[in-house]
Amino acid sequence: MTEPVLYYVRHGETEWNREGRLQGQQDSVLTPRGRAQAVQSAEILRDLVTREGGDIAALDFVASPLGRARITMENLRATLGLDPADYRTDVRLAELAFGCWEGVAYPELLAREGDALAARERDKWNFAPPGGESYADLMARVGAWHATVERPSVVVAHGGTARALVALRGIVPPEKAAAFDIDQGVVYLFAAGRVTRYG
């Protein structure tokens, strides 16, 4: 069976992104740059779909329920001239949970949890922070959502969620997917067994 085309957008930059804090399933507000990245992603998406002769309004739009993804989606849809609120959320698209590490800046985490971070670097795919999830856990959750996708979709979610999709679709092995770069202000096209970055 052919996998549906996904136009994937990571949420725009947040205050915690700027401060180097792990967000996981906690939230912080988009920065002005983050809002501009949502607009930029919308313009890239419009160009991609128009070039293929597609109809943006006919795509399914789904987002993580976390605030940073919802605000990005609403800015993106408004830029496209679509009703900002006319999209679905799915809890299975929420970011990787970092447990008690959420909200902690990386230098502080390094000072406090150096051994655990070293263990994570040795096996990033299977490591779960205290009270959190591993990428393997996340892929199972994202996979349950992916199995329900029936048509080309615009997805606004997170870096971790995108890495799970990269592994789920067999684009790279899991151990490489855990370190796959997922940038803000761009669109990742998942199609034909590949992922292509635009922007």
CATH code, 6-198: 3.40.50.1240
What is the average pLDDT score of the chain? 96
Give pLDDT, residue 1: 57
Q: What percent of the chain has pLDDT above 90?
A: 90
Domains of the chain: which residue ranges? 6-198
- Closest-CA residue to 65 (of 84, 38, 92): 92
- For this structure, is 11 an active site residue? yes
Confidence of residue 101 (pLDDT cuts 50, 70, 90): very high
- The per-residue pLDDT for range 138-176, each reduced to its tens digit, is 999 999 999 999 999 999 999 999 999 999 999 999 999
Q: Which of 95, 102, 146, 158 is catalytic?
A: 95
- For this structure, is 146 an active site residue? no
For 48-67, b where at least 16 C-beta lie within 10 A, e where not — what string?
bbeeeeeebeebebbbbebe
Looking at the chain, list the stretches that DSSP marks H as alpha helix, in order from N- to C-terminal side.
Answer: 15-19, 32-51, 67-79, 106-112, 114-122, 135-146, 159-168, 174-177
Report the alpha-carbon distance of residue 115 to residue 136 in Å, rounded.
Answer: 21
